[in-house]
Structure 1
């Protein structure tokens, strides 16, 4: 399958467009930007919302955390103490979504208990040549930030790694021009 195909690969993530009404003992919304999660605050209402920095003027309990690391640590603490029936709604770009997804799975949530809502273009790229992760936009090509190999961003998405695969574009000339200078 080529990049121009209309049908995405089976491994390409599909994201929710609205929150499901599944029963839950507790609902936690984790948002990269609070404004982007407004639609998730309607029915069914969450028990708690964690977000970076800003909070909204709503009746939902919220915690605005000063950094991404603080948000991840707070979420990890909440999930380690979570009871059965907790549902997680995550809103942000793909890099953020899949990091939170891996935290939640590691804490014991099932994949069916996590709903992902994509906002933004940033996504995670994995260089298959050196194992380096980096964040990129929607571009189809990139240079690895570590080994400097020119990479083609494949459509294949690894849920285990939470990243798209980057493979060498041209094995006869693998490095970006600035590396050769």
Structure 2
């Protein structure tokens, strides 16, 4: 498989990578002699004016590389952010994941970038579902713990009532015996 060498860090990268995996340098910013492609033409900051009725020029292939590089860079930052989301509280985590879902929803991006957005949206969505599953499990565990505590309290109250009933019964028997003994001694 072909490789290209980053002009900044001089590391080899796979041909399909648009960003250097070591220093995040965009592939089309790398030295053209090292990557085997002609240097991109310098693009003016504003597009040139066209006469009315003239069709717009075709999109530059380097523009597509820039889009890929931008999305690759954003994907790396997203993965880092998803790793740091674990350290947030439950509410802040839900808020951040929901914001990321909205940010990467494919319908909110141009047609040419929707497949990139969808990939990232699916990453966030799977994390959201994992978080929801964990939250539901915690809620169920908490409900089970509350039910067990209520059951233990109910059993303790029943045991206390039985003890009190037993004490009352023993007291009644003791009083009955005392009354019988008094009646026997008085006769």
TM-score, structure 1 normalization: 0.24
TM-score in terms of structure 2 length: 0.23
The structure whose Rg is larger is: 2
More helix by share: 2
Q: Which has the higher contact order (CA 8 A, sep 6+)?
A: 1
